[in-house]
Amino acid sequence: MYKISMVWICLAVMLQAVNIGDTLPQVTLEKENGGTSNDKPWHSTSLKGKVHVVLYMDPDERKGTQPLLDALNQLDVDSKVYSTIAIVNLSATWMPNYILESILSKKQKELKNTSFIFDKEKMLVKKWQMIDDASNILIVDKNLRVIYRKMGKLSFKEIEKIIALIHQNI
């Protein structure tokens, strides 16, 4: 019975989720619900005008996205037309926020063309129907239209597809 209930819950979430072809719903992360790594508000409308890979991740699942981050870090693409946004679901981890924010602020210096945003209250789980406690990947075009969506671990072929989609849409 538990498995059947979980299947229905997953199906309901998928039906409400942000899907390929949808315009990304507007959301603001600020103050108690999150924001940028330097405590400024972050607005999803700031994504307009260039292609973005948006990673919404549980920090405990970050190893699954590391191959993608490594591949994105190797891209030789002008930051005026493309960037990576890593939105960290701080509510999905056992680590205290201040420790995690410090670790990720250092990591941001290693990753070129990547910005870290913090979601302290699972706002994007609610507003964009992201899967909680998992890695979620979206590619958003210049007009905030979702052109790629994947939940969970990526294969090498999927990483290649993401890189190709970035090049096709810049």
Phi, psi for 80 (deg, rounded to 5): -80, -20
pLDDT of residue 93: 83
pLDDT of residue 15: 43
Q: Who contacts 155 (Cβ-Cβ below 8 Å, separation ≥6)?
A: none
Give pTM, 2 decimals: 0.86
Q: Two tokens at 33?
A: 């619900």
pLDDT of residue 48: 96
pLDDT of residue 20: 94
pLDDT of residue 4: 58
Q: Which residues of 134-160 are buried (b: 16+ CB within 10 A; e: fewer)?
A: bbbbbbbbeebebebbbeeebeeebbe
E-assigned strand segments in 106-157? 114-119, 135-140, 146-151
Domains in the chain: ranges and CATH: 2-169 (3.40.30.10)
Distance CA 39, CA 51 (A): 24
pLDDT in tens, the chain (170 residues): 555 545 454 444 444 578 999 999 999 999 999 998 888 999 999 999 999 999 999 888 878 888 999 999 999 999 999 999 999 998 888 877 777 777 777 777 778 888 999 999 999 999 999 999 889 999 999 999 999 999 988 999 999 999 999 999 99
CA dist 22 → 11, 135, 147, 149 (Å): 18, 20, 8, 11
